[in-house]
Amino acid sequence: MNASQFISRAIVALVAVVLTVGLAFGQNLNLSGAGGTLAGSWNVKGSINTGSASAPYSFSGTVGLNGTVSTQTVGASGANGALTFATLNAVGSVDKSLGGEVTVSGPFTQNNGANFTVGANTLNFGGSTTVTSGTFDASNASSVVNFTSGSSQTVLASTYGGTLGLSGAGAKSLTGATSAAVVNHAAASGALTVGQNLTITGSGASSLDDISVSSTLDVQGTGGATITTLTSNTGTIQKTTNAGTLTFSQAALTNAGTITASVGTLGFTGDVTVDGASAVLSLTGTGTANFAEDLATANGGTLTLNNSGTTVNYTGSAAQSVASATYYTLAMSGTGVKTAAGNVTIAGGGSFNNGTATTDMDTYSLSGPSLSQAGGGTMRFGGEANGVVFSTGTVEYNGGDGVTQTIAAGDYATLVLSRKSGTGTAAKQIADAATVTTTSGVTVGLPTSLTLMTGTSVLTVGGDLTIQGALTNNGTVNVGN
């Protein structure tokens, strides 16, 4: 053996002795060098300290945190203090806590009753996660826990006080009841199955890209959430506490379970179909629902929108179908024509306001204790006797061929008589002993006929009377004040 070989072996032996003594007495693993990858298996009874490292470290083998004496801390704050583990086993009987960002790219296991605390740090899981005993504690409001696998991955049941991140191509599912201040389910990531209760509690906005719900998704926080795609719902999706909006942003949503709000707002940017005998869309308390496109029911689906204090808004800029239902407060806005799919009823104490939109009741009835519209709104009626008097805005009777419409007696602002469809003349009439008054004008459009039925029929026009069609006067017509 030459001198250099002897010196090398002596150094290796000395390092081994130093490590052995360190693990036996100090028990900590101190990584203070220039970073890099450490191979092999490691069993550490103390903390893994990286506060003096000048670059991040990673372990390509299995690391066991098997301390039995005092709490073990892993990593340190700052980019250089971050640690990456291929496999991490938290198996010792003492508690573990993070001191900085930690990534576990492969399996993570926690047992032996030890608690694992994330604290105000980031923890990334790229593989499977198993907790057989002890508590996985991510309750710190500044914690970030990300599940990033490209394969199917289960999310540890916990109270996530900060952000729960779900990304990677792998499907995600819950292992038990879970709550989080914010959930970030990245776009184009794997589908999330909410088969256990999931509660969102924070003031930050959450995003759920692709989910199916068979249990309860409860959006409580003021930040609300956006569901980009609801693949299926056979459970319950609800907004139960605090202000904020739960938005469904897909083009066409089919709900087979329950969607409900008792406070805050449900926002639907596309078509909504409540489909099936167990399907419900409901509002209670002060809940509000905004619909930008069509709302409909199918196969026994139920709409419960008439509870005192609730509001439904149809807000679309394109044509909308208005569901036949009993509403409490119903408001129309936006530039798209709202067309009723059936009778619309306003519950006692509630109200209807057409705003500045055009609402077409077709041949269906509109009834309720408080019906109004803003000055720019238009109400259309196409049935024989389904017209309603509005003292502001425009009321248009636009029945088609073969329909003789009777104009409801009362005081209108502006009255327009037109034909919806067909090739003949659309007939309108003012009945015997009925008085119709306008503060603005009346237009009898082409090809429309208006008949005052008898000598007791009266039409009083506060503004211009424009006759483009035909007017048969068997009563009295007053033009001008």
pLDDT one-digit tens code per residue, 392-435: 999 999 999 889 999 999 999 999 999 998 888 899 999 999 99
At residue 18, does pLDDT exceed 60? no
Where residue 22 falls (left for φ over 0; alpha for ψ -120 to 50; beta otherwise) is alpha
At residue 437, does pLDDT exceed 50? yes
Q: What is the pLDDT of residue 402?
A: 87
C-alpha span between 401 and 424 (Å, rounded): 6
Average pLDDT (1-22) is: 38
Q: In 114-142, which positions are buried (b, 16+ CB within 10 angstroms) versus exposed (e)?
A: bbbbbbebbbbbbbbbebeebbbbbbbee
Cβ-based neighbour number of residue 431 at 10 Å: 18
Beta-ladder partners of 329: 311, 351
Least confident of 21-30, 156-165, 454-463: 21-30
At residue 461, does pLDDT exceed 80? yes
What is this structure's pTM? 0.91
CB 362 within 8 A of CB 346: no
- Using alpha carbons only, what angle is made at residue 246 by residues 243 and 249, rounded to the nearest 5 degrees? 150
- Domain locations in the chain as residue ranges: 391-481
Q: What is the pLDDT of residue 187?
A: 86
Question: Could you tell me how many residues make up the chain?
Answer: 481
Q: What is the pLDDT of residue 375?
A: 87
Mean pLDDT of the chain: 94
Number of H helices, E strands in the chain: 1, 55
Average pLDDT (382-386) is: 98
Give 316-323 contacts, CB < 8 A, sequence gap 24+: 316/291, 316/292, 317/292, 318/293, 320/291, 320/292, 320/293, 320/294, 320/295, 321/294, 321/295, 321/296, 322/295, 322/359, 323/295, 323/296, 323/297
Average pLDDT (214-239) is: 97
CB contact set of 292 (below 8 Å; sequence gap of 6+): 267, 268, 269, 270, 315, 316, 317, 320, 334
Structure tokens at 286: 């002060």
pLDDT one-digit tens code per residue, 38-62: 999 999 999 999 999 999 999 999 9
Beta-ladder partners of 319: none
Q: What is the pLDDT of residue 26?
A: 67
Q: What is the pLDDT of residue 424?
A: 86
pLDDT one-digit tens code per residue, 177-211: 999 999 999 888 999 999 999 999 999 999 999 99
At residue 5, does pLDDT exceed 70? no
DSSP single-letter state for residue 223: T
pLDDT one-digit tens code per residue, 331-379: 999 999 999 999 999 999 999 999 999 999 999 999 999 999 998 999 9
CB 202 within 8 A of CB 223: yes
Q: What's the pLDDT band for 3 if we cut at 50, 70, 90?
A: very low
At residue 94, does pLDDT exceed 90? yes
Average pLDDT (13-37) is: 63
Distances from the Cα of 340 to the Cα of 6, 195, 222, 268, angstroms: 95, 37, 33, 18
C-alpha span between 284 and 260 (Å, rounded): 8
